[in-house]
């Protein structure tokens, strides 16, 4: 099967443009690009029901970010709508949504568990929305007290990533299986644009930062790591344990560097190493 086609390329470009638009200082570009992109997606068979919800999500974000002096009841209502829609986007469960199916039930690599691979672009809207509040490049004020050497987060990342993957191999979840093809390239790119940015903005940028201000840096790190692991419960308890370790690694990188972009890159490096070098998502049973 030829995985790279115009539909797939358009979906990846869409995700990249939506993320970049959030960094624009121009309000027209910041809100207009994702709005135009989601409206144009109707031309490539996106369900109108989902488009209406996505447009509503953009509108709610616009109101929360730009309109000052809203009554408290209206702000609470808008945040509730934002939260409900965000959960739907994160879990791919909003009515009318369907990702791009790249494979039928088949293994991505030899010795890998057969799976259906989708290219999902819905939750990139969560990353777009959170980027309007959470700095991705600038140093987070929550962790400005950290005086660790600049090389320390890099050292922790390059030792932590192989350590987690090695443990996963020892637990029998994955095996050495290096491979590169069109499907894997799409998975790697989509993982950065649609998964790593969204999950790091949500878990580290939002949850860990907030918990750290309320409960302290260590508690914020530990609780967020646990929540991140539990979010991967579908993979089983061993997978949850490894995800907790990964979440703690990303969170520690965030604390030590103070910059969310480095936890995003650490997340992407681990996921990319997994799909490029090892069985994916897990080894075939038996």
- Residues 127-172 have pLDDT tens digits of 999 999 999 998 887 776 667 788 999 999 999 999 999 999 999 9
DSSP annotation of 118 reads E
Contact 4, 17 (CB under 8 A): no
Does the pLDDT of residue 118 top 80, yes or no? yes
Q: How confident is the model at residue 45 (pLDDT cuts 50, 70, 90)?
A: confident
Sign of the CA dihedral running 275, 229, 199, 251: negative
Lowest mean pLDDT among 34-48, 59-73, 123-137: 34-48
Nearest to 206 by CA among 158, 240, 214: 214
Phi, psi (rounded to 5 degrees) for 220: -60, -40
The whole-number pLDDT of residue 140 equals 81
Cis before 281? omega within 30: yes
Residue ranges of the domains in the chain?
6-277
The whole-number pLDDT of residue 145 equals 64
- Residue 6 to residue 14: CA distance in whole angstroms: 12
Q: What is the mean pLDDT of residues 247-251?
A: 98
The whole-number pLDDT of residue 3 equals 64
DSSP annotation of 25 reads S
Share of the chain above pLDDT 70, in %: 97
Burial class from Cβ neighbours inside 10 Å (0-12, 13-18, 19+) for residue 28 reads exposed
Averaged confidence pLDDT in the chain: 94
The whole-number pLDDT of residue 149 equals 87
Higher pLDDT, 278 or 110: 278
pTM above 0.85, yes or no: yes
The whole-number pLDDT of residue 144 equals 65
Tell me the pLDDT tens digit for each residue of 176-230.
999 999 999 999 999 999 999 999 999 999 999 999 999 999 999 999 999 999 9
Q: What is the mean pLDDT of residues 77-104?
A: 95
The whole-number pLDDT of residue 41 equals 85
What residues pair up with 115 in beta bridges, in sequence order?
Answer: 106
Does the pLDDT of residue 98 top 70, yes or no? yes
Whose structure tokens read 């960094």?
23
Q: What is the mean pLDDT of residues 104-111?
A: 90
The whole-number pLDDT of residue 143 equals 78
Higher pLDDT, 3 or 119: 119
By residue count, the chain amounts to 286
Does the pLDDT of residue 2 top 70, yes or no? no
Q: How confident is the model at residue 235 (pLDDT cuts 50, 70, 90)?
A: confident
Burial class from Cβ neighbours inside 10 Å (0-12, 13-18, 19+) for residue 101 reads exposed
């Amino acid at each position: 099967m030829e995985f790279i086609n115009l539909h797939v390329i358009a979906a990846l470009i869409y995700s990249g443009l939506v993320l970049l638009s959030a960094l624009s200082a121009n309000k027209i570009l910041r809100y207009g690009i994702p709005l135009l992109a989601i409206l144009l997606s109707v031309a490539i068979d996106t369900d109108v029901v989902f488009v209406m919800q996505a447009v509503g999500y953009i509108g709610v974000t616009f109101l929360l970010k730009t309109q000052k002096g809203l009554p408290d009841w209206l702000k609470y209502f808008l945040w509730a709508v934002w939260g409900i829609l965000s959960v739907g986007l994160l879990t791919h469960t909003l009515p009318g949504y369907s990702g791009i199916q790249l494979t039928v039930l088949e293994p991505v690599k030899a010795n890998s568990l057969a799976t259906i691979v989708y290219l999902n672009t819905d939750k990139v809207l969560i990353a777009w929305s959170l980027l309007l509040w959470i700095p991705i490049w600038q140093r987070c004020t929550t962790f400005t007290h950290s005086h660790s050497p600049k090389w320390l987060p890099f050292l922790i990342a390059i030792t932590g990533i192989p350590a987690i993957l090695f443990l996963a191999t020892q637990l029998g979840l994955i095996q050495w299986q290096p491979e590169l093809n069109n499907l894997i390239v799409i998975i790697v790119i989509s993982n950065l644009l649609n998964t790593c940015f969204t999950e790091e903005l949500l878990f580290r940028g939002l949850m860990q930062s907030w918990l750290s201000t309320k409960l302290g840096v260590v508690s914020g790190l530990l609780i967020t790591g646990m929540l991140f692991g539990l979010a991967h419960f579908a993979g089983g308890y061993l997978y949850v344990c490894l995800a907790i370790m990964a979440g703690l690694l990303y969170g520690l990188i965030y604390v030590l560097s103070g910059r969310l972009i480095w936890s995003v890159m650490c997340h992407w490096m681990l996921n990319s190493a997994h799909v490029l070098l090892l069985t994916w998502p897990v080894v075939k049973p038996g």
